Amino acid sequence: MKTSIVSVCKYSLADNAHLIQKVESTYNAAFPPVERRDFSLVVDLLSNDSRFFLDVLMDPVGYIGFITYWDFESFIYIEHFAIDEKRRNSGLGGKALHTFLQKTDKPILLEVEPPVDNEQIRRIAFYNRYGFEYHSLPYKQPPYRMGDPMLPMCLMSFGDIPFINDIQKIKTILYQNVYNWYE
């Protein structure tokens, strides 16, 4: 089965309300509150920030999941990637990621949890299979909500990000643009 990606942007939010509801459900189920923003803020970003995108993942059977990402000048940052619970463990996540990787020539950066337990180790291995490189740079994800803690995370990259070892440059780009966090 071929996986297709349907891009949902500010010009088509109203036309795709049924898909947005599915994305919201997957988003809230796949990520604990400390690892995500309120979904209304995702919708606001889609409407108000031309660098932020939501790709809804579809195949001939229907909805698979989603990828939210930021398109910066020198790289793409995947903020969230999740497959609907009913469609997991079927190989569709890999097909969807492969399709997404083919649609851009820019290098890609994403965050993963440190490899502490089997689930986190499997997630890192999943991205490794698709060409992502794990970086053990000291990195913490800023909180999405006031009062939440910074989360220890790790970075993974796909393609050549020339400044990948310049953690301060990466932090500045992500912290200020994605998390609205200033050190």
CA proximity to 25, closest of 78, 94, 82:
82
What confidence category does residue 2 fall into, taking pLDDT thresholds of 50, 70 and 90? low
| Whole-number pLDDT of residue 51 | 96
User: Averaged over 102-115, what is the pLDDT?
Assistant: 94
Domains and CATH numbers, the chain: 4-177 (3.40.630.30)
pTM of this prediction exceeds 0.95: no
- According to the 3-state scheme, what is the secondary structure of 128-178? HHCCCEEEEEEEEECCCCCCCCCEEEEEEEECCCCCCCCHHHHHHHHHHHC
What are the pLDDT digits (tens) for 55-82?
998 888 888 999 999 999 999 999 999 9
Task: Dump pLDDT digits (tens) for 17-60.
Answer: 888 999 999 999 999 999 999 999 999 999 899 999 999 988 88
Q: What's the pLDDT at 137?
A: 86
The predicted-structure confidence for 113-163, as pLDDT tens digits, reads as follows: 999 999 999 999 999 999 999 998 889 999 999 899 999 999 999 999 988
Residue with tokens 């809230």: 28
Other Cβ atoms less than 10 A from the Cβ of 83: the count is 21
| 157 close to 74: Cβ distance less than 8 angstroms | no
Tokens standing for 61? 């059977």
On whether the CB atoms of residues 144 and 36 are closer than 8 A, the answer is yes
